[in-house]
Amino acid sequence: MLNEQDLKGIYVPVVTPFLPNGELDMDSYRNYLGGLLEQEIQGLVINGTTGESATVSWEEVVDLVQTTKASRKGRPRRIPIVIGTGTNDTVSTVNRTEMAGHIGADAVLVVVPYYCRPSQEGILEHFRKVAQVGVPIIVYDVPSRTGVRLTTDTIRRIMDLNGVIGLKDSSGGLELFSELTRLDTKPVLCGEDIYFYAMVSQGACGGILASANVKTHASVDVFRLASKGDLVNAKRAFDLLVPFIQKLFQESNPSPLKWLLARQGIISSDTLRSPMGPITKELQMELERTIPNLT
């Protein structure tokens, strides 16, 4: 299982490929994974936002994990698997975290409980109960999606819990991150691609980045350069990614990403499960222009 020191580098949140009829497309998933497992990434995240966790059942998560483990077998390096287990219900998050441990999760990604807008104490209690399961937890703070903003003090108290190994910071800016570095908390992974350089140049331990699905080696390079102190070249490498990142998040993630992967022939279709849907024709044209050599 992962510990704090292992949180270093690029974790790729995988998409969940679907056939046009909405069923899981495991052939595409295997093909797509084959490419990712050859990259110098530190881990895969299954059932994150990019994996459309809102519409993927737990049985399907288990299928994805088994397929990932089978694809990983026989490769020189064992790439860790992080499984998204967070829901807006403590009991189901605890159950999913236990089950994730049983199917071989190296860590779990637990989003702040969304929609019901619990108090700061309620959220702390949620994480306290999930941490008791004993599978390492990466806390996922994404107020734009959850509808609840944690105070720095709540985050610090959550991060102090035994079993919590780090934070995926998608708080929407750099303010939280700079406060956390000042408080010298456990590792922070960037969870908002556009802030990746800013965060790693100031000590973030890596990132969980949807953009790393397409430009994997480029994100790996930014991290490698920044962590050896070559900030000039890290910034240069990141600047090349910025127009791509901007387009990738112009419409809701993972719709643009799925379109790109399908356009590149890595997955067979850009199908998303409703209420998510395909990107506009305008964005398709912009992505074609932004990313040369798509095919």
Ligand X SMILES: O=C(O)C1=N[C@H](C(=O)O)C[C@H](O)C1
Q: Which residues are annotated as a binding site for pyruvate?
A: 50, 208
Site residues (CB under 6 A) for ligand X, limited to 61-120: none
CA–CA dist 141, 259 (Å, integer): 26
Which CA distances in Å does 286 have to 218, 243, 268? 20, 10, 21
Q: Which of 45, 110, 214, 222 binds ligand X (CB under 6 A)?
A: 45
Q: How far is the CB of 250 from ligand X (least distance, A)?
A: 12
- Is 48 a binder of ligand X (CB under 6 A)? yes
Q: Which of 44-52, 56-64, 66-74, 100-108 is the region at the interface with ligand X (rule: CB under 6 A)?
A: 44-52
Q: How many residues bind ligand X (CB under 6 A)?
A: 14
Known binding-site residue numbers:
50, 208
Q: Within 135-164, which residues bind ligand X (CB under 6 A)?
A: 142, 145
**Contacts of ligand X in 231-260 (CB under 6 A):** 253
Smallest separation (angstroms) from ligand X to the CB of 76: 26
Looking at residues 2 to 41 of the shown chain, list those that interact with ligand X (rule: CB under 6 A): 13
Long-range contacts of 122-129, Cβ-Cβ distance < 8 Å, separation of 24 or more? 123/148, 123/150, 123/154, 123/158, 124/154, 124/157, 124/158, 125/90, 126/90, 126/93, 127/158, 127/161, 127/164, 128/161, 129/90, 129/94
CA angle 3, 9, 33 (to 5 degrees): 95
> For ligand X, which is the closer residue by CB, 6 or 141?
141
For residue 64, the 8-state DSSP code is H
Residue nearest to ligand X (CB): 48
Strand ranges in the chain using DSSP code E only, listed in sequence order: 9-13, 43-46, 81-84, 107-111, 137-141, 164-169, 188-190, 206-208
Of the residues 42, 49, 68, 219, which one makes contact with ligand X according to CB under 6 A: 49
Neighbours of 68 (CB within 10 A): 21
Q: Which positions are catalytic? A: 140, 168
Of the residues 170, 216, 255, 271, which one makes contact with ligand X according to CB under 6 A: 170
**Subset of 178-217 contacting ligand X (CB under 6 A):** 191, 193, 208-210
Provide, rounded to whole angstroms, the least separation between the CB of residue 82 and ligand X: 9
* Pairing label, strands 137-141, 9-13: unpaired
We find the least distance from the C-beta atom of residue 175 to ligand X, in angstroms, to be 18
C-alpha 121/C-alpha 260 separation (Å) is 41
Q: For binding to ligand X (CB under 6 A), which residues are involved?
A: 13, 45, 48-50, 142, 145, 170, 191, 193, 208-210, 253
